[in-house]
Structure 1
Amino acid sequence: MRAEKRKKKRKVFFIILTIIGLFVLGTGGYAYYLWNKAASTIASIHEDLGKSDKRDKQVDVNSKDPIAVLIMGVDEREGDKGRADSLIYMTVNPKTNKTEMVSIPRDTYTEIIGKGKMDKINHSYAFGGTQMTADTVENFLDVPVDYFVKVNMESFKDIVDTLGGITVNSTFAFSYDGHSFSKGEITLNGEEALAYTRMRKQDPKGDFGRQERQRQVIEGIIKKGANISSVTKFGDMFKVIEDNVKTNLTFDDMWDIQSNYKSARNNVIQHQLKGQGTKINGIYYYQVDESDREAISDELKESLALKN
């Protein structure tokens, strides 16, 4: 079986939990303020995404249709449009209570839809923004993208500092960008968390190891964020969201997902795209094994209740 089941409870809707804090909006004396502030924040970060050609009709989260979400970690800096250096495709099926996730390596060699050329998948964002990235991922995996959440990787730093630091469990010791990280449980500030998620070349697992560290930081943010009680920290967090996040999810979508899909968080299946590094015209690419890509695509379609 290609998928590796992880028994550890994962709060699958990490973007919703991390970025919006939806699970904690109904608690404490600030509930009314937070609810309204969250709704206005979501409205301010909305970005449209065209309907997928791989769907006959729009999904309905209120009816508990299986959904597909593309998580995009974009490394945008001043004067640079940026690239989608972290791409996680996620299906959530509340009827089977399963969530499936696949991380797409940034150097994956594939057709860039709308550009008419083969290139690294993370270049799709530089060429055509969110829409071209979603179209390219759809073509690569042969599955629809219903929703996306785009997060500027720089915002990790601001979020972590707003929370007062987070704890992660490093699987090995390394140094990167002026910071040293020991093996085992460590506490990170914002600058350290950003460096921790960016290191790639020293990792024995390469880009896959970097993706695991990104998930560790996200989970650390969720754990710390669940205990926020200060309205000042919430205010700071909403500001970070407005500056660094875009999504086509509406506030109502998020509420329906939180209400109807949360049971799927306890059964997460992780997929890894097998392949090998290669050089084409002197440039490094990750070439995914075609049979493995097709097998994972079939499993994702099954999760979405789509015909193969």
Structure 2
Amino acid sequence: MRAKKHAKKRKWLKVTGIIFLLILIVGGAYAYYVYHTLNKSVESMHDPIDREKSDKRTKDVKFTEKDPFSVLLLGVDERSNDAGRSDSLIVLTINPEQESVKMVSIPRDTLTEIVGKGYEDKINHAYAFGGVEMAMDTVENFLDIPIDYFVQVNMEGFEEIVNAVGGVTVNNDLAFSDGGFTFEEGQIELNGDEALAFARMRKKDPRGDFGRQLRQREVIQAIIKEGASVSSLWRFDNIFEALGNNVKTNLTFDEMVDIQKHYKAAAKDMEQIKIDGGSGQTIDGIWYYVVPEEEVQRIQSLLKEHMEI
């Protein structure tokens, strides 16, 4: 039962990280002011890492010059006496000149080389073995692009963030019951618990993951809308407290401000790139998700082009 509960919760880990990044990108002048007045909350998110400069990055990223950059979103399930594992890994590449963001979700059981260990294993084990640094190095090697920054999200954080903005209103195109809640078709209002159940349901939707992704986007857009509304301005202390409690990143305060200034246009077009053609294989008694080399190269080429490298 506990395993099932954790499996459900991890479905929403990635969404919280995307919410954080999109709020950062699309925030307006008032958000700029809030970043300054609530500097303490923002600083609590900052988590510098000890990582050598990537050989895939020939020059430092300069936000003031609108350089394309990448972010690894890590949804982490950390338990007591356990290093935890990154149960959700998403890479976002941001190009302000093309006014676009590309997002690739990497299946957590993907078989790849664990950089620093010298052997292949499930990609989500990199975090357990070597923390954020090893996870970034391993994903960088898998995609063959520089991974510049990370955003790590505590799996419990999503509900707190939804509640911090005062709940959300979404348009539901499929009536269903799940997680002890009933969701009618049409426009509905959700608190944090309800939003989590709404967004993670898959088995009762004939569209499967596609339907779940639609609901996740509905909630993401609703949070951004609520966070940017005049009626929510007084809640920004709660919002940043929720982010500060549940989000860690190596982005500094000044870098956040620069992103807000120079990268707003990138949020106009957000494309989800799907890894296709993979298959489950049992190797030495362990199940892995194996991605064909030609598919890996296809994803690498798309991201390299978007990052202009």
Measured against the shorter chain, the TM-score band is 0.7 to 0.9
Structure 1 equivalent of residue 45 of structure 2 = 45
Name the structure with the higher helix share.
2
For the residue of structure 2 that corresponds to 1:92, the secondary structure is strand
Contact 1:275/1:288 (<8 A) preserved: yes
User: Are 2:299 and 1:296 aligned?
Assistant: yes
2:246 corresponds to which residue?
244
* Letter aligned with residue 137 of structure 2: D
SS of the residue 1:106 aligns to: coil
Matched residue, 1:122 = 124
8 Å CA contact 1:169, 1:184 repeated in 2 = yes
CA contact (8 A) 1:153 1:194 kept: no
User: For residues 139 and 19 of structure 1, what CA distance do their matches in structure 2 show?
Assistant: 27
Given the superposition, is the C-alpha separation of residues 153 and 168 from structure 1 closer, same or farther in structure 2, using an over 3 Å criterion? farther
Q: Which amino acid aligns with 1:295?
A: R
Is the CA contact 2:24–2:260 (under 8 Å) kept in the aligned structure 1? no
Give the 3 Å change call, closer, same or farther, for CA 104–26 of structure 1 in structure 2. closer
- Return 45-54 or 292-301, whichever deviates more: 45-54
Where do 1:130-145 residues align within 5 Å?
A: 130-145=132-147
Structure 2 residue runs of 5 or longer lacking an equivalent are: 1-16
In terms of mean alpha carbon deviation, does 282-291 or 147-156 score higher?
Answer: 282-291
Give 1:301 deviation, angstroms: 0.7
Which of 15, 24, 39 aligns to 2:20? It is 15
Please show how residues 1-308 of structure 1 align to structure 2 within 5 Å: 14-18=19-23, 22-23=27-28, 25=30, 31=33, 34-49=34-49, 50=51, 51-170=53-172, 172-182=174-184, 184-199=186-201, 210=212, 213-227=215-229, 229=231, 233-280=235-282, 281-306=284-309
- Counterpart contact for 2:280–2:289, Cα < 8 Å: yes
Inter-partner Cα distance in structure 2 for 1:296 and 1:102: 8
Retained in 2: the 8 A contact 1:103–1:211?
A: no
Correspondence for 1:7? none
Amino acid at match of 2:168: I
The answer on whether the counterparts of 2:27 and 2:228 sit within 8 Å (CA) in structure 1 is no
How large is the RMSD of aligned CA atoms in angstroms?
Answer: 3.0
> TM-score normalised to the size of structure 1?
0.81
Q: How many residues align?
A: 290
What fraction of aligned residue pairs are identical, expressed as a percent?
Answer: 51
Q: Structure 2: which amino acid aligns with 1:40?
A: K
Q: Deviations over 1:213-232 (max 9, x none)?
A: 44443222111111154565
Residues 25, 260 of structure 2: 8 Å contact kept: no
